[in-house]
């Protein structure tokens, strides 16, 4: 490989490792998390599952296919993925996509959740959060990985992003699951939706 080819190669590798948001933002909640719930420590630290922000390389490791287990995704090329990745990244402190990588399965992405932080004028310029697109690969369910993702991002919204509230939408049969993390129906509030 010539020096120029090597430079291009190194550059493309460093690009694919580019994170959607700074991984060190997660440090605070990881530390607190392991103290709060020791049962799950193994999932984070046993060197099988790495929990980290989404990277550009995750397109190659099944990120979109994983989302297909949640809903339809259509056709998304790697260029489409890159464009959307940068659209999100340039909205500072807004999109936090967490993924779980199986280190023993060629970096396969086996779980994901997104936190969206929306800035407001109300409540002294408050920020509100939403949990979106929670999905764990069918083959990996039953290991409390979904619990781990939601717990982490809920704490992240509160402690790192200092949101004043967080909400999510889910099917009836998942209400019980989400209640364990403190999500509840609010009195006299409704979720209304219009599909286009």
Contact footprint for ligand 16G (CB under 6 A): 70-71, 131-134, 168-170
Give the nearer residue to ligand 16G in terms of CB position, either 13 or 170: 170
Nearer to ligand 16G, 50 or 170 (CB): 170
- Select the residue whose beta carbon is closest to ligand 16G and give its number: 71
Nearer to ligand 16G, 105 or 133 (CB): 133
Q: In the complex with ligand 16G, which residue's Cβ is closer, 45 or 191?
A: 191
Contact 54, 63 (CB under 8 A): yes
| In the complex, minimum distance from the CB of residue 85 to ligand 16G, in angstroms, rounded to a whole number | 17
For residue 152 the two structure tokens come to 């982490």
Instruction: Tell me how far, at minimum, the Cβ of 9 lies from ligand 16G, in Å.
Output: 37
Shortest approach of ligand 16G to residue 73 CB, angstroms? 9
* CB nearer ligand 16G, residue 19 or residue 181: 181
CA 20, chain centre distance (Å) = 10
Shortest distance (Å) from residue 60 CB to ligand 16G: 23
Coil, strand, or helix at residue 143? coil
In whole angstroms, the minimum distance from the beta carbon of 134 to ligand 16G comes to: 4
Q: Residues of 74-106 as b/e, b for ≥16 C-beta within 10 angstroms?
A: eeeeeeebeeebeebbeeeebbbbbbbbbeeee
Beta strand pairing call for 108-119 and 127-136 = antiparallel
Length of the chain: 196
Report the phi/psi class of residue 142: left, alpha or beta, with left for phi > 0 and alpha for psi in -120 to 50. left
């Amino acid at each position: 490989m010539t020096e120029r080819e090597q430079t291009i190669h190194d550059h493309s590798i460093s690009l694919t490792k580019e994170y959607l948001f700074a991984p060190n933002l997660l440090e605070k909640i990881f530390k607190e998390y392991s103290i709060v719930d020791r049962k799950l420590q193994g999932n984070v630290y046993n060197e099988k599952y790495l929990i980290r922000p989404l990277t550009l390389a995750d397109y190659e490791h099944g990120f979109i296919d994983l989302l297909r287990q949640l809903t339809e995704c259509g056709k998304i090329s790697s260029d489409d993925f890159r464009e959307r990745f940068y659209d999100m990244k340039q909205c500072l402190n807004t999109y936090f996509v967490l993924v779980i990588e199986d280190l023993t399965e060629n970096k396969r992405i086996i779980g994901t959740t997104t936190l969206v932080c929306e800035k407001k004028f109300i409540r002294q310029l408050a920020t509100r959060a939403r949990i979106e697109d929670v999905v764990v690969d069918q083959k990996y369910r039953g290991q409390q990985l979904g619990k781990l993702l939601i717990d982490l991002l809920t704490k992240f919204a509160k402690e790192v992003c200092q949101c004043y509230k967080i909400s999510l939408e889910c099917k009836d049969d998942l209400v019980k699951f989400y209640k364990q993390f403190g999500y509840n129906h609010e009195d006299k509030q409704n979720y209304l939706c219009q599909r286009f």
